[in-house]
């Protein structure tokens, strides 16, 4: 019974799907949510989206495909053009987006950008008011998330942090995992929208818990990638075929989709960007700060962070984070001289 009640809890919720098609209707006629005739859950209201980079653009696109009334903003306006061609509206500042929408999502690259877009001059907070909601899906530290939340709620609006686990392809396919915390009523209100963009969502309580969960997940991911890269290079060094290593790992207990997805291109020294290396290093840096704040040693993550820093110094910041293998190659070459 305990397991059954856990699965039915609204705090850990899987989206309602029929086959692979999510049943969601979006309307701009009201700010409340309701059930549609097809049996799915509908969100009614105007939706804003701030930040249309590698992740934000496909997330906003999926909302549009679900029929949502979307208003967008991005620092580089040209990044809005594909969505505008599909019928999205454009506003010239985060404040104007927030003012014209019932709920506004933000997907920014780092804590500094997330704070500036929410709280800076012409930031979203200036357009917020009672009845509106702000959902920050950026990956930031818990302190930044709390600052943003405090500023948003001071306007009478509701705040939800909802960083995502997943990269470019899951964002395109609507298979992200949302790690939410903050206003639970806003969480329930935007649940249909999260289900358009993701395959699962977790409600984790107070603001800061979502940010912390995301940093823990990305800390593990970054460390795993470094260990995987070490294994590929070691196998090659001792005369094994690294492609066979990828295949063996894919059939064993340590299999992870990341290894099967990234391995073949890493063997070819190709790193098409799904999750930029600079963002992985940023998340490791934030995870190290989080661990320091509670006196928790994380030596493996600390070592991994140093390799990502080396990779950045080699000019690989905008490559996929799997390019960290090049830092190991550089270390090998320097040790041979």
Would 280 be classed as within a structural domain?
A: yes
Would 52 be classed as within a structural domain?
A: yes
The whole-number pLDDT of residue 333 equals 84
Res 35 pLDDT > 90: no
Instruction: Give 139-182 pLDDT, tens digit per residue.
Output: 999 999 999 999 999 999 999 999 999 999 999 999 999 999 99
H/E element, 144: helix 142-153
Give CA–CA dist 120/141, Å, rounded: 18
Would 177 be classed as within a structural domain?
A: yes
Would 175 be classed as within a structural domain?
A: yes
Would 146 be classed as within a structural domain?
A: yes
Phi, psi of 221, deg, nearest 5:
-60, -45
Residues 125 and 149 in one domain: yes
- Which of 178, 206, 234 is at the close of a domain? 206
Residues 159 and 52 in one domain: yes
Q: Which of 132, 146, 168, 214 is catalytic?
A: 214
- Which of 180, 206, 232 is at the close of a domain? 206
The CATH number assigned to the domain holding 255 equals 1.10.1040.10
Give CA–CA dist 253/197, Å, rounded: 30
Considering its fold, how many domains does the chain have in total?
2
Instruction: Give 208-252 pLDDT, tens digit per residue.
Output: 999 999 999 999 999 999 999 999 999 999 999 999 999 999 999
Give CA–CA dist 295/288, Å, rounded: 10
Residues 65 and 102 in one domain: yes
Residues 89 and 170 in one domain: yes
**In which band, very low, low, confident or very high, does the pLDDT at 22 lie, cut at 50, 70 and 90?**
very low
Average pLDDT over residues 22-28: 54
**In which band, very low, low, confident or very high, does the pLDDT at 25 lie, cut at 50, 70 and 90?**
low
Nearest residue to 59 (alpha-carbon basis) of 132, 137, 160, 141: 137
Residues 201 and 217 in one domain: no
Domain assignment of residue 288, given as a range: 213-328
Instruction: Give 198-213 pLDDT, tens digit per residue.
Output: 999 999 999 999 999 9
Q: Can you point out the beta strands (E) in the chain?
A: 12-13, 17-18, 21-22, 26-27, 33-35, 41-44, 46-50, 69-73, 89-90, 103-106, 133-136, 158-161, 164-165, 176-182, 198-203
Full-model pTM: 0.86
Residues 323 and 181 in one domain: no
Lowest mean pLDDT among 185-194, 249-258, 326-335: 326-335
Residues 111 and 258 in one domain: no
Residues 64 and 188 in one domain: yes
Contacts of 224 (CB under 8 A, 6+ apart): 256, 258
The whole-number pLDDT of residue 44 equals 86
The CATH number assigned to the domain holding 124 equals 3.40.50.720
Residues 58 and 120 in one domain: yes
The whole-number pLDDT of residue 337 equals 64
Would 304 be classed as within a structural domain?
A: yes
Residues 148 and 199 in one domain: yes
Would 121 be classed as within a structural domain?
A: yes
Would 26 be classed as within a structural domain?
A: no
Give CA–CA dist 203/8, Å, rounded: 13
Contacts of 73 (CB under 8 A, 6+ apart): 48, 49, 50, 80, 90, 91, 92, 93, 94, 96, 97
Instruction: Give 42-88 pLDDT, tens digit per residue.
Output: 788 999 999 999 999 999 999 999 999 999 999 999 999 999 999 99
The whole-number pLDDT of residue 28 equals 53
Instruction: Give 256-305 pLDDT, tens digit per residue.
Output: 999 999 999 999 999 999 999 999 999 999 999 999 999 999 999 999 99
Residues 140 and 219 in one domain: no
- Which of 206, 226, 248 is at the close of a domain? 206
Assess whether 169 carries a catalytic annotation.
no
Residues 100 and 164 in one domain: yes
Which residue has 């391995």 as its token pair?
263
């Amino acid at each position: 019974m305990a397991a059954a009640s856990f699965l039915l809890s609204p705090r850990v919720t899987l989206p309602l799907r029929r086959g692979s098609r999510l049943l969601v209707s979006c309307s701009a006629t009201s700010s409340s949510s309701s059930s549609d005739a097809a049996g799915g859950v509908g969100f009614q209201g105007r939706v804003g989206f701030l930040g249309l980079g590698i992740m934000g653009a496909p997330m906003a696109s999926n909302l549009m495909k679900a029929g949502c009334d979307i208003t967008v903003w991005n620092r580089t306006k040209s990044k809005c053009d594909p969505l505008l061609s599909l019928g999205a509206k454009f506003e010239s500042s985060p404040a104007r987006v927030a003012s014209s929408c019932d709920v506004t999502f933000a997907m920014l690259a780092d804590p500094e950008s997330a704070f500036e877009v929410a709280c800076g001059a012409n930031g979203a907070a200036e357009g917020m008011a009672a009845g509106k909601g702000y959902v920050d899906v950026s990956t930031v530290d818990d302190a930044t998330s709390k600052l943003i939340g405090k500023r948003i709620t001071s306007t009478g609006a509701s705040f939800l942090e909802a960083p995502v686990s997943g990269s470019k392809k899951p964002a395109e396919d609507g298979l992200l995992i949302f790690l939410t915390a903050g206003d639970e009523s806003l969480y329930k209100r935007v649940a249909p929208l999260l289900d358009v963009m993701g395959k699962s969502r977790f409600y984790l309580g107070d603001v800061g818990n979502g940010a912390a969960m995301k940093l823990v997940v990305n800390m593990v991911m970054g460390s795993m990638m470094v260990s995987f890269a070490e294994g590929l290079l070691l196998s090659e060094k001792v005369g094994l075929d690294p492609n066979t290593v990828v295949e063996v790992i894919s059939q064993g207990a340590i299999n992870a989709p990341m290894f099967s997805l990234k391995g073949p291109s890493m063997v070819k020294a190709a790193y098409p960007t799904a999750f930029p290396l600079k963002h992985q290093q940023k998340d490791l840096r934030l995870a190290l700060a989080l661990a320091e704040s509670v006196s928790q040693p994380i030596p493996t993550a600390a070592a991994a962070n140093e390799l990502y820093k080396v990779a950045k110094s080699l000019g690989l910041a905008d490559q996929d984070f799997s390019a960290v293998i090049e830092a190991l190659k550089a270390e090998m070459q320097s040790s041979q001289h």
